[in-house]
Chain A
Amino acid sequence: MGDDFESVVVDDEYKLVRVRTPFVCLLHWVIVASVITLCVTGLYVGSPILMFGTGEPYDAFVMAKTRFVHFVTASVLLTALLLRLYHSFSPSTRRDIYEILPTPSNISGALHLMWFYLTGKGRHEHYRYLNPLGGISVFLMICLFALETTTGFALYSQQANHISWGWALWFPSLMGRIFGGMPGVRLLHHLGMYCLLSLVVVHVYMKVYVSIVFKEADIVSIISGHKLFRRDVIAQY
């Protein structure tokens, strides 16, 4: 792996190592914020229970506004995801796509880690970047993002039949054909949210767990871009 990240000495035992650029950190939190917004607004769209004020159209436009927020956030999410993916592939940055793709070595690494987390047996390596299990869960998240954005934009283009963009016409029909009509697309969009949320629960738990148990400031690494490593571990890199 490249040595293009500076290391900062903290003390005799620990060393701060830069593992991400600030931009990638920023993208992570943009993605987190938009996913939360999309889930909240999406759930309301799926099951509108609240009514504000008199509830009369002149007074409140709850559904319209909620959907507006959902759609704007959808674009923010898509942009952030595309930028993040570009980062994974771009030769000018560290190509972390190899840590994310479910290659045989990543899968076996992930299984080892899972075995370790569940039974405490085996060895826990120190990973400078994503560990194989984290990589796989990010891969699954990316798949779900792909599902949410394709089904989401298919639903969106349904109401956009005044738009003359080509995709607005073929996209819903393609999605409809794959998923059994627009209700099927809608259902998948809805279920996809729950799958994503369950992964997020696992993701956050694992990060908190690793940060506490291995004292590597794993969570800090997605905020400041630095990870804390013991000197004897860093010798591996």
Chain B
Amino acid sequence: MSEEKIRLLNQLDRRSFLTLCAQISAALGMSSAMVPKIAEAIEKAARRPSVVWLHFQECTGDSEAFIRSTSPSTAELVLDILSIDYHETIMAAAGDQAEENLKKAITENRGKYIAICEGALPTATPPGPAGKKGDYLTIGGRTGLDIAKEVCGGAFAVICVGNCSSYGGVQAQRPNPTGAMGVGEALGISTVNIPGCPHNPVNSIATVVNYLLLGSLPALDKHGRPKFAYEKRIHDQCTRRAHFDAGQFVQEWGSEEAKKGYCLYKMGCKGPQTYHNCNIVRYNDHTGWPIGAGHGCVGCSEPAFWDRMSPFYGRLEGVEVPFGGVEATADKIGMTLVGAAGVGAAVHAAYTMGKKRSDDDKGGEDK
């Protein structure tokens, strides 16, 4: 550890360090008895895991969430828990020097560093003769795909923070002009995904601490998400759930029901389809989360949520009608179907009744 780091480490406030450890143990579902052990593991880690943080197609929201977490503060995060050797937004180096740092980090710690990815990888080839696969993202003259391949290939583990690096995010929404994909899908590797928009830094740090503590990555679900954070459904731990069960729903924005904090199901809340612990861990220094603030869940921790969870303010997707390409809602289609069947039956009945009357002298039963 460098002189500089040790000096800063000594300045750390013990209380906030232990607060962090407590939060991590809670997120991991461990008892408070584990807090000292977590603190010990972090303090004793001979060399804090080297972290290379890559940016692809993204809005830096995940870095932003990371930096804004006040407990632990950024300084604590960077110096106490992780040794972040490359991070385009917060590192001091720039240009060639930055590229140098990256090279150094991935060669010196080959097979041991953790690659954290933020943002999706474009995989399409731009039109025109000069277009190369993945050209929609070029950093320092290399495509994002190229960099990702090299850096993730040599990493001990790849952690994807945010929905974009996990599953492609908004840029992978139909029609997806740049062929954006999650890192795991684009490279064909398995990654630890911490989706969310943004990710919750507590979950990301807890994943790393799990590694420090146990030497392994946490158990993952079928979408590559750590189970400790993504095993439970928003709807099942929602503070408005009693209103759902009671049949109390917000019918309109800005209404009396909305003021009363009724359930947002009819306003398009996707809590019933979404697995995340944002309602327990919460955002912004654990002060709030979307449904708490009065907005329905949009399913930001689920694959392809821009396509699949939309409309964000309606409960069911519009259905594309094959002829004419109009979007109709499920109910309209359904009513039309049932209506058509009913009308068909009525018309047929009227027709046969009329026909029967005219056929009557022919002894019509056998018709």
A117 touches B348 (CB 8 A): yes
Which one of B123-131, B138-146, B193-201, B237-245 is at the A interface?
B237-245
Inter-chain contacts of A193 with B (CB < 8 A): 334
Among B233, B299, B308, B352, contact of A213 (Cβ-Cβ < 8 Å) = B352
Q: How far is the CB of B355 from chain A (nearest CB, A)?
A: 6
Among A50, A56, A64, A209, contact of B352 (Cβ-Cβ < 8 Å) = A209
Q: How far is the CB of A197 from chain B (nearest CB, A)?
A: 5
Which one of A27-35, A184-192, A219-227 is at the B interface?
A184-192
Tell whether B67 is near chain A: CB-to-CB under 8 Å. no
Inter-chain contacts of A8 with B (CB < 8 A): none
A187 touches B266 (CB 8 A): no
Q: How many residues of A contact B (CB 8 A)?
A: 47
Inter-chain contacts of A48 with B (CB < 8 A): 247, 249, 265-266
Which residues 51-109 of A have a CB within 8 angstroms of B?
51-52, 55-57, 59-64, 66
State whether A199 and B365 are in contact (beta carbons under 8 Å apart), knowing that A63-B247, A183-B308 are contacts in the complex: no
State whether A181 and B246 are in contact (beta carbons under 8 Å apart), knowing that A187-B316, A198-B337, A201-B342 are contacts in the complex: no
Tell whether B335 is near chain A: CB-to-CB under 8 Å. yes
A186 touches B247 (CB 8 A): no
Inter-chain contacts of A187 with B (CB < 8 A): 316-317, 319, 330
Inter-chain contacts of A57 with B (CB < 8 A): 242-243, 245-246, 248
A124 touches B366 (CB 8 A): yes
Closest partner residue, chain A, to B364 (CB atom): A213
Tell whether A231 is near chain B: CB-to-CB under 8 Å. no
B334 touches A124 (CB 8 A): no
Tell whether B62 is near chain A: CB-to-CB under 8 Å. no
Inter-chain contacts of A215 with B (CB < 8 A): 365
Inter-chain contacts of B317 with A (CB < 8 A): 183-184, 187
Tell whether A167 is near chain B: CB-to-CB under 8 Å. no
Closest partner residue, chain A, to B244 (CB atom): A63
Inter-chain contacts of B90 with A (CB < 8 A): none
Among A52, A60, A159, contact of B235 (Cβ-Cβ < 8 Å) = A159
Tell whether A2 is near chain B: CB-to-CB under 8 Å. no
Tell whether B340 is near chain A: CB-to-CB under 8 Å. yes
Q: How far is the CB of B366 from chain A (nearest CB, A)?
A: 7
A64 touches B245 (CB 8 A): yes
Inter-chain contacts of B352 with A (CB < 8 A): 120, 209, 213
B308 touches A63 (CB 8 A): no
Tell whether A195 is near chain B: CB-to-CB under 8 Å. yes
A181 touches B303 (CB 8 A): yes
Tell whether B222 is near chain A: CB-to-CB under 8 Å. yes
B334 touches A186 (CB 8 A): no
Tell whether B367 is near chain A: CB-to-CB under 8 Å. yes
Could you say which interface size class chain B belongs to?
Answer: 35 or more
A55 touches B248 (CB 8 A): yes
Inter-chain contacts of B348 with A (CB < 8 A): 117-118, 205, 209
A161 touches B308 (CB 8 A): no
Among A158, A161, A169, A181, contact of B272 (Cβ-Cβ < 8 Å) = A158
Tell whether B24 is near chain A: CB-to-CB under 8 Å. no
Tell whether B356 is near chain A: CB-to-CB under 8 Å. yes
Tell whether B116 is near chain A: CB-to-CB under 8 Å. no
Inter-chain contacts of B309 with A (CB < 8 A): 181, 183
Inter-chain contacts of B272 with A (CB < 8 A): 158-159, 182
Q: Kindly supply a per-residue 1/0 record for chain B positions 295-332, scoring 1 wherever the CB is within 8 Å of any chain A CB and 0 otherwise.
A: 00001001110001100000111010000000000110
Tell whether A164 is near chain B: CB-to-CB under 8 Å. no
Q: How far is the CB of B292 from chain A (nearest CB, A)?
A: 18
State whether A199 and B242 are in contact (beta carbons under 8 Å apart), knowing that A60-B247, A159-B235, A213-B365 are contacts in the complex: no
Among A51, A61, A202, contact of B344 (Cβ-Cβ < 8 Å) = A202
Q: How far is the CB of A71 from chain B (nearest CB, A)?
A: 14
State whether A181 and B244 are in contact (beta carbons under 8 Å apart), knowing that A161-B232, A194-B337, A198-B338 are contacts in the complex: no
Inter-chain contacts of B245 with A (CB < 8 A): 57, 61, 63-64
Q: How far is the CB of B325 from chain A (nearest CB, A)?
A: 18
Rounded to whole angstroms, the CA-CA distance of A194 and B328 in the bound complex is 14
Closest partner residue, chain A, to B346 (CB atom): A205
B338 touches A124 (CB 8 A): no
Tell whether A236 is near chain B: CB-to-CB under 8 Å. no
Rounded to whole angstroms, the CA-CA distance of A193 and B340 in the bound complex is 15
Tell whether B341 is near chain A: CB-to-CB under 8 Å. yes
Tell whether A131 is near chain B: CB-to-CB under 8 Å. no
Rounded to whole angstroms, the CA-CA distance of A181 and B274 in the bound complex is 10
Rounded to whole angstroms, the CA-CA distance of A66 and B245 in the bound complex is 9
B248 touches A158 (CB 8 A): no
Inter-chain contacts of A124 with B (CB < 8 A): 366-367
Tell whether B345 is near chain A: CB-to-CB under 8 Å. yes
Inter-chain contacts of A199 with B (CB < 8 A): 341
B333 touches A191 (CB 8 A): yes
A120 touches B355 (CB 8 A): yes
**Interface pairs A-B: 10 shortest CB-CB:** A194-B334, A62-B247, A64-B245, A205-B345, A198-B341, A181-B308, A57-B246, A201-B341, A182-B273, A57-B242
Q: Mind listing 5 A-B residue pairs with CB under 8 Å?
A: A47-B266, A48-B249, A183-B273, A194-B338, A201-B341
Known: A48-B265, A194-B334. 5 other contacts (CB 8 A): A51-B247, A181-B303, A181-B308, A198-B338, A201-B338
